[in-house]
Amino acid sequence: MHTVTTILPNTLAAKLEGFIDDANAEIEAAERDFCSRYPDYEQTRDLDALRCNGYARLDDLGHTYLDYTGGGLFSTDQLEQHTALLTQNIYGNPHSLNPTSLAATEINESARHAVLDYFHADPDQYTVIFTMNASGALKLVGEAYPFDENSHYLLLFDNHNSVNGIREYARNKGAKFTYLPLLPGTLRLDEAALMRNLDAANSASHKLFAFPAQSNFSGVKHPLRLIEEAQSRGWDVMLDAAAFLPTNQLDLHEHQPEFVSMSFYKMFGYPTGIGALVARKDALEKLKRPWFAGGTISIATVQADAYYLHVNEAGFEDGTINYLGIPAVEIGLKHLQKVGVPCVQQRVTLLTAYLLDFMKQLKHSNGQPVINIYGPTDTDNRGATIAFNVYDPNGHVFEYQIVETAANSQKISLRTGCFCNPGAGESAHGLTAEDLQPCFINDRMDFTEMAERLVEKHSTDIVGAIRASLGIATNFADVYRLTAFLRLFVDEEAPQR
Ligand SMILES: Cc1ncc(COP(=O)(O)O)c(C=O)c1O
């Protein structure tokens, strides 16, 4: 593995001494000032009480957690409820008819219904297939979608790799696939180009359009009305809702994509290892599973070389489902409902506005900006995820490893790199196919080596970014500590290679 040893510049290391205590001492006054500028924040005060109860460990352990797009956080009462459920009942493998098995079936079916209810999905129209995560949901569609030489897969530059990976299934079956570029600067979709592409594939047999409801790179929210635009032109729509759902509501009564992918740990932190494909029953009928497994068939024979696949969700859940973990999904959904996603959304939007304003205004003594934000710089149609890099007074970038190392030393959790969304990163850094192709010709390399090579060739000053993302337990103090941390870079010189 390629490892990077990052040594902090002495001046920065010196500023970090005692930094967190100083920042903490400033929070009260800063929050008063913030509230006078963003008075609606007062409406979200219940979330401070929540933070003190279910999420007290963040402050007890001195963590500033700003990686909610990576993983959400659970409230301790979710765990307590789950533990009580497991310790006060006996659950067996749900594939039988004995009492413990039936109890497991009942509680898992209840979780399935809770997912449908949460999304206002009509049970006659939609079903829930439990998977390991959002990637598992996407793979189920990718491997079973009836791609052939006459079909088409359309996706955005702004997709997670687990959506990008479906292109390999399309390619292997001879289907055409097309990527829609993002507009430079805003990293939003070029809607006119999308409509042209949606119209262009008129004669294709099966057409699948995949897009993220919210970018896990830039926080851009792509309009949900694209679902209907695509469907009215004969496309099936795969909505990747993984980064959207933790702070937004999706209503499957209003928008009815064929497939929706999600990971529950992103929404409410616990349990990990469970996601779902929420799928329209009519769309599932179109899918052709490449194999069968225990649990997915009503019967199979060895000698007659035949099998009958279950219809709906049972035909897609391979082997034994996570029957002890899945009940925690219902607990998590109830937790979100009690807390209120609109309230979380309001809070993180106001805190994002504050962060964006701060980042835009932060300047070195010579007037040069400290932060370059990738994507929208206001809160219109964007979520609480901000990708950025830090620059010195001479316009030289701080390698993100330096920023990350400095943040780590203060228990500030940020994410760095390309966040498994290479297309958005390439768009943000202005990289072209010609820049990238040479990295895939001879030797295998990892992301850091590729980034170094691209920088060496001068096609960009940096590859990779820093990401701060807010979520259910974020409070003003977290965001203030980030601003205080970024202020340390004012008038700092970036080490040169
Ligand atoms: C938009 C988006 N889609 C898909 C995924 C994949 O999720 P998982 O790793 O849980 O499968 C992620 C993870 O960050 C994501 O942000």
Report the catalytic residues.
Answer: 420
Ligand 1 pocket, 156 CB below 6 A? no
CA distance 85 to 91: 10
In a domain, 444, yes or no: yes
What sign results for the dihedral spanned by CA atoms 165, 171, 175, 180? Answer: positive
Q: Are 293 and 398 contained in the same domain?
A: no
Distance (Å) of CA 292 to CA 134, 301, 323: 21, 12, 20
- Of the pLDDT bands very low, low, confident and very high (cuts 50, 70, 90), residue 451 is confident
At 167-221, the pLDDT tens digits run 999 999 999 999 999 999 999 999 999 999 999 988 889 999 999 999 999 999 9
Ligand 1 pocket, 243 CB below 6 A? yes
* End residue of a domain, out of 338, 358, 390: 338
CA distance 214 to 348: 14
Ligand 1 pocket, 134 CB below 6 A? yes
Q: Are 258 and 294 contained in the same domain?
A: yes
- Of the pLDDT bands very low, low, confident and very high (cuts 50, 70, 90), residue 461 is confident
At 342-369, the pLDDT tens digits run 999 999 999 999 999 999 999 999 999 9
Q: Are 83 and 113 contained in the same domain?
A: yes
266 Cα nearest atom in ligand 1: 10
Select from 69, 133, 156, 162 the residue to mutate for testing ligand 1; criterion: most ligand atoms less than 8 Å from CB: 162
Average pLDDT estimate for 425-451: 87
* End residue of a domain, out of 312, 338, 364: 338
Q: Are 373 and 394 contained in the same domain?
A: yes
In a domain, 494, yes or no: no
At 381-394, the pLDDT tens digits run 999 999 999 999 99
CATH number reported for the structural domain that contains residue 220 in this entry: 3.40.640.10
CA distance 180 to 40: 37
Pairing of strands 64-65, 306-309: unpaired
159 Cα nearest atom in ligand 1: 1
Q: Are 334 and 356 contained in the same domain?
A: no
Select from 158, 160, 247, 416 the residue to mutate for testing ligand 1; criterion: most ligand atoms less than 8 Å from CB: 160
Ligand 1 pocket, 331 CB below 6 A? no
Average pLDDT estimate for 58-63: 98
* End residue of a domain, out of 275, 310, 338: 338
Q: Are 317 and 440 contained in the same domain?
A: no
Q: Please state the three-class secondary structure of 164-219 as a single string.
A: HCHHHHHHHCCCEEEEECECCCCCCECHHHHHHHHHHCCCCCCEEEEEECECCCCC
Ligand 1 pocket, 216 CB below 6 A? yes
Q: Are 86 and 54 contained in the same domain?
A: no
User: Structural domain tally of the chain?
Assistant: 2
CA distance 343 to 234: 37
Please provide the DSSP assignment of 430-447 as one string: T--HHHHGGGGTSS---H
Q: Are 272 and 418 contained in the same domain?
A: no
Decide if 132 contacts 263 (C-beta within 8 A). Answer: no
At 110-144, the pLDDT tens digits run 999 999 999 999 999 999 999 999 999 999 999 99
In a domain, 322, yes or no: yes
CA distance 430 to 124: 46
Q: Are 104 and 34 contained in the same domain?
A: no
In a domain, 246, yes or no: yes
- How many angstroms separate the first and last alpha carbons of the chain? 21
Q: Are 282 and 379 contained in the same domain?
A: no
CATH number reported for the structural domain that contains residue 360 in this entry: 3.90.1150.10
215 Cα nearest atom in ligand 1: 1
- Of the pLDDT bands very low, low, confident and very high (cuts 50, 70, 90), residue 340 is very high
* Ligand 1 atom 12: residue of nearest CA: 242
State the residue range of the domain holding 296. 79-338
Question: Ligand 1 centre and the CA of 240: distance in Å?
Answer: 8
Ligand 1 pocket, 131 CB below 6 A? no
Of 136, 98, 166, 86, the residue nearest 319 (C-alpha): 136
In a domain, 156, yes or no: yes
CA distance 327 to 109: 9
In a domain, 4, yes or no: no
**What is the CB neighbour count within 10 angstroms for residue 205?**
14
What sign results for the dihedral spanned by CA atoms 344, 422, 466, 33? Answer: negative
**What is the CB neighbour count within 10 angstroms for residue 421?**
27
Q: Are 346 and 320 contained in the same domain?
A: no
Q: Are 324 and 388 contained in the same domain?
A: no
244 Cα nearest atom in ligand 1: 1
In a domain, 492, yes or no: no
In a domain, 403, yes or no: yes
